[in-house]
Amino acid sequence: MGSITWGREIAEVYDTTWAAKFEPAVLGPIVDLLAGLAGGGPALEFAVGTGRVALPLSARGIAVHGIELSPHMAGQLLAKPGADTIRVTIGDMTTTRVPGIFRLVYLVANTIMNVTTQDDQLAVFANAAAHLEPGGSFVVEVLVPQLRRVPPGEAGWVFTLDPDHVGIETFDDTAGQIAWSHHWIEVDGRLVRHSAPYRYVWPSELDLMARITGFRVRDRWAGWDRAPFASGSQSQVAVFGRLP
């Protein structure tokens, strides 16, 4: 299936649908951690999207470059104030190279799962390593697969049930680790329906991908607030250090 691309319809409603993720209380810990890891050096965001993280990180004085597969998502970013400080390259984060060497590469909001094969997810790690200086950091934010949330005998579960947003996750191919995320979103009186596959990935699998591509796990937390990661954690923020 390759990498999943967000089309125009989703790009146009993305910021409104996930407005809570743009709140300062949410973004503050993210930007604090990433700015600290960048240490004043340049940063590269894989799947930069509409600039939710890149823009406030750039406002901290970090030179940010972004790679984005969807021209529609990138178009939303480039129309925003401050976007002139961010260099955006349209391309696939599995293979696209941009000029320069970075101190930090980061990939947030579960987006590594939009790459739907193990080989291509491994290629994301390899591409991050190719862009990093020795000792640099690759940060991945991704959920921990929630198969235990699915009722016995059922194929999926409702993960969002709001008046303007219904989200259902179905686990369609457990051997291939392929699930589908289905959304019905009401924005300004318009109903947007979106369904897409993703490949869920386990923490231990991420660690193996890291080892294969020249990284070692430096830190892992349950969230951007650096809460301890445990077996019951539903998400993770993993920091992989590139070996010299």
Separation CA 57–CA 29 (nearest Å): 11
| Rounded average pLDDT over 123-137 | 98
Confidence bin at 58 (pLDDT 50/70/90): very high
- Residue 242's pLDDT is 97
Pairing of strands 102-107, 43-46: parallel
User: Which sign, positive or negative, has the C-alpha torsion 118, 124, 127, 133?
Assistant: negative
Q: Is the pLDDT of residue 231 over 60?
A: yes
Residues 29-43, mean pLDDT to the nearest whole number: 97
Is the pLDDT at 122 greater than 90? The verdict is yes
Give me the pLDDT at residue 73, please: 94
- What is the structure's pLDDT at 18? 77
Any idea which of 7-21, 128-142, 145-159 has the lowest mean pLDDT? 7-21
CA atoms within 13 A on the CB side of 136: 21
Q: How much is the average pLDDT of 152-172?
A: 91
E strand residue ranges, the chain: 43-46, 64-68, 87-90, 102-107, 132-143, 156-162, 165-173, 178-187, 190-199, 215-221, 235-242
Cα–Cα distance for residue pair 232/48, rounded to 1 Å: 29
**What's the token pair of residue 160?**
């969002």
pLDDT value, residue 244: 86
Asked if the model's pLDDT at residue 13 lies above 90, the reply is: no
Position 183: which residue type?
Answer: H
Does residue 3 carry a pLDDT above 70? no
pLDDT at res. 188: 83
User: What does the pLDDT average to over 75-82?
Assistant: 95
Q: Residue 72 has what pLDDT?
A: 94
Mean pLDDT of the 71-92 span: 95
